[in-house]
C-alpha cells in the first residue's frame, strides 16, 4: 500500500495570507455571522475541541480513512463564523497515563515506538506485502496500517475527547464537540476498523467519575463494538448502536438484536447493551422515526446524566463504504433530537469516507449544537477554502444523497419489531441503577476490581463460617456462584477484553 505523510500539501492559512488578506477574510466571516444570525447560544455553552496537527496525517493513498476531512469540516465551520458562538480549545495530546486507563501498557508501548522505518527491523513478521501485512500483531495490518506520526495522531484525537469530557464534568460546557474522535472499534489491546485508541471509552471513563449513568449512542453505519465490549459488564453505561448488520459480509459482523449484554441476570451489565440492526438502504423518514422511537424510551427509562453521541457519517448516502440512503438533514435530526433533552452531551465523529459529505454533515451538526441551523444559508460562503472540493454536487450543505443503488430493505413492520424488542429489553432494567457517588473511583476498571475483591473476601468469610459448622469438605473448592457466572457471561467484555 502506497504511503506518504499527507494527502495534499495544504499550506497553513497564515502562510498564504497577508495582513490585509486576513482583515478582508475576517470581515467576510463577520458578514456571514450577521447574515445567518449566528450568536452564542442562550442558556448553554458549546465547546469545540480540535487540533490542526491531526488533519495532516495520512493512512495511505488507497486507504479510505482521510483525516483531512477534518480540514474541510473546520473550514466550513469557520467560513460561516460558527466558531464565534463556541468556546474553542486547541486540544493537547493524551498522556500515556491517560491512555492506559483503558488500553494495555504493552499495546501503548507498541503504538508509541513503531514506525514505518523500524517496522521491518523490529517487527519482521509485519513486513508489508502485496496484500497488506503478512502477520497481524496488535490488530495492525491493511485496515490499521503503521504510518508516520501514528502515535501523535492517536494521542491527539484521544486527548481532545478526554478534554471535552472534562469540560462537561466541570460544568464549563453543556455540549462538547470533537469531530476528530469517535474511533469506536479499538479494543483494549487491539487496533480494529481504522481505529487504534478508543477515545470514546476514555472519555466515558472521565464522565463516570462525576456522572452515575452515561448513555452512549452510535449512528455510524458500523456497529460500535469496541465501546460495547468495554462496558459489557457494568450498568453505569447503556450502549445503543444503530448499524448495518450482516454477520457474514459486513464489518464487524457483530450487533444483532438479541445481543443485549451478559446473559446471566446477576451480571450488572445484563440488558445494558442495545443493538438496532438494519438492512441496506434505510431513508431519512424511516431512520428518524426509528431513532426517536428507540432513544426516547431509553432516556426515559435509564435516565442518563450524560450522553455521548457518535456521529459516524458513513451512514450517509453515497458513502464510499456505507449502504444507507440518509441525507445530511436526516443524519442531523439525530443530533437535534438528543440535544432536545438538555442533558450534558459529548458529540464525536467516527466513520465517513466521502470527505466532502462528511464535512457537510459535521458542519451542519455543529450548527445544530449552537442553535444556528434554522437560519443558516445552505450555500457555502464564497470565501470557504477548498470550496472547489464540493463542486460535484454543487457548493451546498445539503446535496441530495438519498438516490443510491441501495434499495430500502427495512419495511415498517421490521422497524416496528425492533422498537418492540428494544422496549421489551428496557422492561428488564427495573429503572435506572442507583449509584452512590460519595466515592469517585479513579476509573471504572479499578471500580470493578474493587468490587470483585470485596466479593472474594465475602466468599472466603462464608467458607470459613461453613467450615466451622460442617468441617473442611464443603465450600473450600468452590467460589461464589456470581463470580462463576460473571466469568463465563462476561467473556465478551469485563473491561479487560482484548
Sheet strands (E) in 290-428: 306-310, 345-348
What's the CA gap between 34 and 29, in Å, rounded? 9
Annotated binding-site residue? 174: no
User: Do 169 and 210 contact (CB within 8 A), yes or no?
Assistant: yes
Q: Which of 49, 63, 185, 243 is catalytic?
A: 185
Cell 491531526 belongs to which residue? 54
Helix (H, G, I), strand (E, B) or coil at 308: strand
User: Cell 508509541 maps to which residue?
Assistant: 112
Distances (CA, A) of 124 to 108, 119, 196, 292, 445: 19, 7, 21, 50, 34
Q: Is 184 an active-site residue? A: no
Nearest to 127 by CA among 137, 327, 40, 250: 137
220 appears as a binding residue in the annotation: yes
Angle at 178 between CA 176 and CA 180, to 5 degrees: 175
CA distance 334 to 217: 10
User: Cα–Cα distance between 273 and 241 in angstroms, integer?
Assistant: 8
Dihedral pair phi/psi, residue 452, rounded to 5°? -60, -40
Q: Is 353 annotated as belonging to a binding site?
A: yes
Asked if residue 223 belongs to a known ligand binding site, the reply is no
The torsion angle over the Cα atoms of residues 161, 162, 168 and 169, rounded to 10 degrees, is 160
Q: Is 21 annotated as a binding residue?
A: no
Distance (Å, whole) CA 439 – CA 145: 41
**Of 150, 163, 179, nearest to 74 (Cα)?**
179
Annotated binding-site ranges for a divalent metal cation: 220, 222, 314
Q: Which residues are annotated as part of the binding site?
A: 143, 193, 220, 222, 314, 353
**Catalytic residue numbers, as ranges:** 185
Binding-site members for substrate are: 143, 193, 353
Amino acid at each position: 500500500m502506497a504511503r506518504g505523510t499527507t494527502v495534499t500539501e495544504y499550506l497553513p492559512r497564515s502562510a498564504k495570507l497577508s495582513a490585509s488578506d486576513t482583515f478582508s477574510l475576517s470581515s467576510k466571516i463577520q458578514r456571514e455571522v450577521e447574515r445567518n444570525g449566528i450568536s452564542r447560544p442562550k442558556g448553554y455553552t458549546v465547546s469545540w475541541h480540535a487540533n490542526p496537527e491531526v488533519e495532516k496525517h495520512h493512512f495511505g493513498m488507497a486507504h479510505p480513512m482521510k483525516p483531512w476531512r477534518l480540514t474541510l469540516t473546520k473550514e466550513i465551520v469557520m467560513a460561516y463564523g460558527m466558531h464565534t458562538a463556541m468556546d474553542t480549545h486547541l486540544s493537547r495530546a493524551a498522556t500515556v497515563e491517560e491512555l492506559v486507563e483503558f488500553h494495555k501498557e504493552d499495546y501503548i508501548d507498541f503504538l508509541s515506538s513503531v514506525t514505518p522505518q523500524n517496522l521491518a527491523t523490529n517487527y519482521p513478521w509485519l513486513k508489508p506485502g502485496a496484500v497488506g501485512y503478512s502477520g497481524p500483531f496488535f490488530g495492525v495490518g491493511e485496515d490499521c496500517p503503521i504510518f508516520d506520526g501514528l502515535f501523535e495522531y492517536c494521542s491527539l484525537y484521544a486527548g481532545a475527547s478526554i478534554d471535552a469530557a472534562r469540560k462537561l464534568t466541570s460544568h464549563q460546557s453543556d455540549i462538547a464537540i470533537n469531530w476528530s474522535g469517535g474511533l469506536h472499534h479499538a479494543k483494549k489491546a487491539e487496533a480494529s476498523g481504522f481505529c487504534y485508541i478508543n477515545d470514546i471509552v476514555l472519555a466515558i471513563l472521565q464522565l463516570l467519575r462525576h456522572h452515575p449513568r452515561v448513555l452512549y449512542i452510535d449512528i455510524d453505519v458500523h456497529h460500535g463494538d469496541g465501546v460495547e465490549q468495554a462496558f459489557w459488564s457494568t450498568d453505569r453505561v447503556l450502549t445503543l448502536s444503530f448499524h448495518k448488520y450482516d454477520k457474514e459480509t459486513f464489518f464487524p459482523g457483530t450487533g444483532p438484536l438479541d445481543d443485549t449484554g451478559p446473559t446471566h441476570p446477576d451480571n450488572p451489565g445484563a440488558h445494558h447493551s442495545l443493538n438496532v440492526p438494519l438492512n441496506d438502504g434505510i431513508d431519512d423518514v424511516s431512520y428518524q422515526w426509528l431513532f426517536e422511537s428507540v432513544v426516547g424510551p431509553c432516556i426515559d427509562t435509564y435516565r442518563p446524566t450524560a450522553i455521548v453521541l457518535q456521529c459516524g457519517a458513513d451512514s450517509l448516502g453515497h458513502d464510499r463504504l456505507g449502504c444507507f440512503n440518509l441525507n445530511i438533514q436526516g443524519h442531523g435530526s439525530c443530533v437535534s433530537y438528543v440535544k432536545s433533552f438538555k442533558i450534558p452531551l459529548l458529540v464525536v465523529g467516527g466513520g465517513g469516507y466521502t470527505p466532502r459529505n462528511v464535512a457537510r454533515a459535521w458542519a451542519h451538526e455543529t450548527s445544530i449544537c449552537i442553535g444556528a441551523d434554522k437560519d443558516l444559508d445552505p450555500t457555502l460562503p464564497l470565501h470557504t477554502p477548498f470550496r472547489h472540493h464540493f463542486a460535484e454536487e454543487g457548493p451546498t450543505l445539503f446535496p441530495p444523497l438519498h438516490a443510491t443503488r441501495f434499495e430500502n430493505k427495512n419495511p415498517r413492520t421490521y422497524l416496528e419489531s425492533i422498537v418492540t424488542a428494544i422496549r421489551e429489553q428496557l422492561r428488564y432494567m427495573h429503572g435506572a441503577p442507583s449509584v452512590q457517588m460519595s466515592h469517585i473511583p479513579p476509573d471504572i476498571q479499578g471500580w470493578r476490581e474493587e468490587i470483585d475483591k470485596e466479593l472474594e473476601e465475602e466468599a472466603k468469610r462464608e467458607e470459613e463460617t461453613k467450615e466451622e459448622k460442617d468441617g473442611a469438605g464443603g465450600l473450600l473448592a468452590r467460589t461464589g456462584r456470581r463470580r462463576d457466572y460473571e466469568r463465563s457471561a462476561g467473556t465478551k467484555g469485563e473491561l479487560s477484553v482484548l
